[in-house]
Amino acid sequence: QVQLAQSGGGSVQAGGSLRLSCAASKYIYNHWGWFRQAPGKEREGVARLNIRSGATLYADSVTGRFTISRDNADGTVYLLMNSLQPEDTGVYYCAADSVGGPGWRLRPGYFTYWGQGTQVTVSS
C-alpha cells in the first residue's frame, strides 16, 4: 500500500505565499511532481523533481515564483509558492512515480501515485 500524504493550501491575497507538502508513507519514489487543475480546465503540470539527480522542471507560468524541493532528512517534498496571483487558483495535487514517464516532461500520465489534492485560492 502506498499513500501520498498531502497538506497545505488555503486562501491568500495576491502577492502572498503558501507552502504545500507531500510525502510517501510506504515507498521512496525517484520522481515527484506537482499539478493543478482549475474548474473546466485540463490538469496542468506545475513542477517536478528527480530526487536522484536533483533536476527540477517548472511550467513557464510559475518559473521564478515556485520552488519544488525535498527535505532529505524525512523525505517530505514541498512546493513553495511565492508571488501568488489569481491565475494560480486551483486544486493542487502532488504525484510520485518510480520512473517518471518516458521523458522529462510535466505530464500527469507520467505519475502513478497521487495525493488527495488541496484547494489554493488567490484573491486580488
Tens digit of each residue's pLDDT (9 = 90 or more) over 77-92: 999 999 999 999 999 9
pLDDT of residue 101: 97
Is residue 24 over pLDDT 90?
Answer: no
Q: What is the dihedral of CA 110, 112, 115, 116, to 10 degrees?
A: 100
pLDDT in tens, 41-100: 999 999 999 999 999 999 999 999 999 999 988 899 999 999 999 999 999 999 999 999
**How far, in Å, CA of 8 to CA of 28, rounded?**
21
Assign 3-class secondary structure to the chain: CCCEEEECCEEEECCCCEEEEEEECCCCCCEEEEEEECCCCCCEEEEEEECCCCCEEECCCCCCCEEEEECCCCCCEEEEECCCCHHHCEEEEEEEECCCCCCCCCCHHHCCEECCCEEEEEEC
**How far, in Å, CA of 29 to CA of 113, rounded?**
10
pLDDT band at 1 (very low <50, low <70, confident <90, very high): very low
